[in-house]
Structure 1
C-alpha cells in the first residue's frame, strides 16, 4: 500500500460523520431560506389571530414592526440548526445502516423504504430534545409585536433568561409531549417520501448518489410538504401551547389546548397557517436536501 493511499484512508471521513457534517450544512441553508414564512405561520396559528393571507400578514407585520421583524427568533435556530440537523441526519444514517445489517441487505442494494421509515422515526425521536426548547424560545420571540431594537422588545438572551427565571429549565421543555408525537411519525414520512421520490425521478440515485439537482430539489420539497401536512394539527397545538409562559397560558397541557381550541374555533383551527407552512416546507427542505446531498457527494469523492 502506497503512502498516498495510507494517508487518504487516515483522513477519510467516516459515513457517520459525513452524515453529520452534510446534515449541518443543509440545516443552515434551510433556516436562512425559510425564516420569514415561519414567523408568519406562527402568528397565524395563535389565539385571536385575524383572518388573512400570507401576504396580508407579511405586509401588516412589516408596516407595523419593520422588515427585520420577519426574522424574529431566527437567532435560536440559526445557532442550533447545524447541530440539530446534523444529529438528525447522522441518526438517520446510522439507523439505516444498522437496520440494513440486521436484515442482511446486500451492500449493492438500497435499504427498503419500510426501514427508511423506521430510521426516520428514530431520528425524529432523538432530535426532539434539541428542537423543543429552540422552538419554544423562537415562538416567544415571534409572537411579540414590539419593534426590534425598541425599549420594550425582548431580545434572544433576555427571552432565555426570562424563561429560566419564571419557569426553570423544565419551562424550556413545555410542549415536549406533543413535539414527540408530531416529530416521530413525520420524520418517518419525511425520509420515506424523499428516498422514494428521488429514486423515482432519478433511478439508481439511492445507491450511486444523485447527479440531478432538480430531482433533489423536487424530492426534498415534496418530502417537506407531505411530512408537515401529515401532522399539521399537532403543530398548531404545539405552537399555541408554547407561546405563553405556563403561569399565563390558558392551557394546562396539549390535550386541553386541543379541546379548548376546538371548542372556541371549531375544527378549522387545526389548519390555520397551513398555506404558509407548506410553502415554507417546500422551500426549506428543497434547499436542505440539495445542500445535504451535494456536501455528501463531495466528501465521498474526497
Structure 2
C-alpha cells in the first residue's frame, strides 16, 4: 500500500485504531484491581490488602487474572464500539445544529452525555452476557467455597457478608478432605450458565441493573471528560502542557478524573448488580431483586458485639464496599485509555495532516 492509502486507512478507522489499542492496554493493566473489587463487593474483608492476600494465598497470581481472556477481547470491542457510537452521536447533534457551540461548557457537557447515554444503552445489550461470564470467572473460587464444593483456604478466613451467606448446598455438603479447586475456561463458564440458568436469558441475569449502570455511567463519563478537556484546552500551552504539567500527564489526569467521578455515582448500582448475579450463580437460597437487596443492605443490623456504632450513614456506605480498589482501577484504566488515545491521535494527525481531535468533536 502507498503512504496515501495507509494514511487514508488510518484516518477512516482512527477511532477503531486509537480506542482499540487503548482498551487492550488498559484492560490488562487494571484487571487485577477489577478482580479484587468483585470479591470485596460480595464478601467482607478487613481491607483491600487482606483481600488481595487472600486471593494470592487461595488462587495464586492467576487469581488476579481469572477470566481475563474474554474481557480482553470483548471489552476492547465494546469500548471501541462505545467510542464510535459516542463520536457519531455527537457529530449528528452538531451537524443538526444542536449543542454545537463548543465555547459553552453546557453544550460540550450535554453533547458528551448524549453520546455517552446512547452508547451505554446500545452497548449494554451486547456486553451484558460477556460481563456476566467475567463476574462468574472472577468469583468462581468464592462461589465454590460457599456451595461447599471445595474447602476454604484457612478456617479463619473472612466471613461472608449479609448479602452473600453460604448457600444451602454448603450446609448439606459431605464432610471430608476439601476437593482441589479446578478453574474453568470462559467457554466452560458460559456453557454452565446456559445449562443451569435458563438458556440465553440466563446471560441477562441482573440486566436492568447493568443497563442502568452503563447508561448513566457512560453518560457521566463522556460528559465529564469532554467538560474537563474543554476547560483544559483553553489553558494549555502550544506544546500541550498545562501550567508546566506535561501533556501526557494532563491527558492521564483528565481521563482518570472523569472515570472516578462517574464511578462514584454508579458504584452502588454496580455493587447491587454483582451481588444479584453472584446470588443467582451460586444458587443462593434467597434470591433478591436489586431493590430488595438495596433495602436489605440499608436495614440489616451489624452483630450485637460489633465494635462499630450502627448508624444510617454506615449502613448506606455498605453500598460503597470495595470503592477504594475500584477507584484505583478507574484511575489506572481511564487514565491510560485517554493517554493512549490522545497520543495515537496526535501521531495520526501528524502523519495525515488532519486534526483527529477536532474531527472527534
Equivalent residue for 2:325, pick from 268, 276, 286? 276
Question: What is the rounded CA distance, in whole Å, between the counterparts of 1:193 and 1:9 in structure 2?
Answer: 31
Structure 1 position 112 matched with structure 2 position 147: no
Residue 259 of structure 1 pairs with residue 259 of structure 2:
no
- Separation in 2 of the partners of 1:263 and 1:107? 47
CA distance in 2 between counterparts of 1:51 and 1:106 reads 48
- Give 1:62 deviation, angstroms: 0.5
Q: Please say if residues 118 and 215 of structure 2, whose CA atoms lie closer than 8 Å, have aligned partners that are also in contact.
A: yes
| 1:138 pairs with one of 105, 129, 134 | 134
Asked if the contact 1:34–1:283 (Cα under 8 Å) also holds between the matched residues in 2, the reply is yes
Task: Say if 2:207 is the partner of 1:176.
Answer: yes
Which whole-Å CA distance do the structure 1 matches of 2:4 and 2:77 have between them? 31
- Name the CA distance, whole Å, in 2 between partners of 1:64 and 1:104: 54
Moved more, 29-38 or 152-161: 152-161
In structure 1, C-alpha distance between the alignment counterparts of 2:123 and 2:333, rounded to whole Å = 17
Give the corresponding residue for 1:231.
266
Q: Which whole-Å CA distance do the structure 2 matches of 1:5 and 1:282 have between them?
A: 37
Gap change, CA 1:19 and 1:152, over 3 Å in 2: same
Other structure's SS at 2:96 match? helix
Say whether residues 1:81 and 2:75 are aligned partners: yes
State the shift of 1:175 in Å.
1.4
Q: Secondary structure of 1:29's match? A: helix
1:200 match: 231
- Structure 2 unpaired stretches of 5+: 145-149, 151-179, 302-314, 353-361
From 28, 32, 37, the counterpart of 1:36: 32
Deviation for aligned residue 1:131 = 2.5
Deviates more, 1:290-299 or 1:216-225: 290-299
Deviations 1:45-67 (A, max 9, x none): 10xx2232111111121122211
Q: 2:256 pairs with 213, 218, 221, which one?
A: 221
Deviations 1:78-129 (A, max 9, x none): 1212210110100010011011111167798796221111111111112212
Q: 1:11-64, CA deviations, whole angstroms, 9 ceiling, x for partnerless residues?
A: 4633xx322332211211221111111111110110xx2232111111121122
The answer on 1:68 being equivalent to 2:104 is: no
Unaligned runs of 5+ in 1: none
TM-score norm. by structure 1 comes to 0.86
SS in 1 for 2:182: coil
* RMSD after superposition: 2.8
2:46 matches 1:52 = yes
* Cα drift, residue 252 of structure 1: 4.0
Which residue of the partner structure matches residue 24 of structure 1?
Answer: 20
For the pair 1:90 / 2:120, whether they are aligned, the reply is: no
Q: Take 2:316 and 2:40, find their aligned partners in 1: how far apart are those partners? A: 15
**Structure 1 residue 156 corresponds to structure 2 residue 154:** no
**Which of 118, 125, 129 is the matching residue for 2:125?**
129
* 1:100 aligns with one of 78, 82, 94: 94
Judged with a 3 Å threshold, the aligned counterparts in structure 2 of structure 1 residues 80 and 12 are, in CA distance, closer, same or farther, namely: closer
Further displaced range: 250-259 or 4-13? 4-13
Following the alignment from structure 1 to structure 2, what is the Cα–Cα distance between the partners of residues 128 and 6? 37
Give the paired residue count: 291
Give per-residue Cα distances to partners, 1:118-162, cap 9 Å, x unaligned: 111111112212321122111111112279xx6532332210110
Using the TM superposition, give the Cα deviation of residue 191 of structure 1 relative to its aligned residue in structure 2, in angstroms.
1.1
Aligned equivalents of 2:230, 2:240: Cα separation in 1: 10
Aligned 8 A contact 1:163 1:245 in 2: no
Question: Are 1:87 and 1:127, in contact at CA under 8 Å, matched by a contact in 2?
Answer: yes
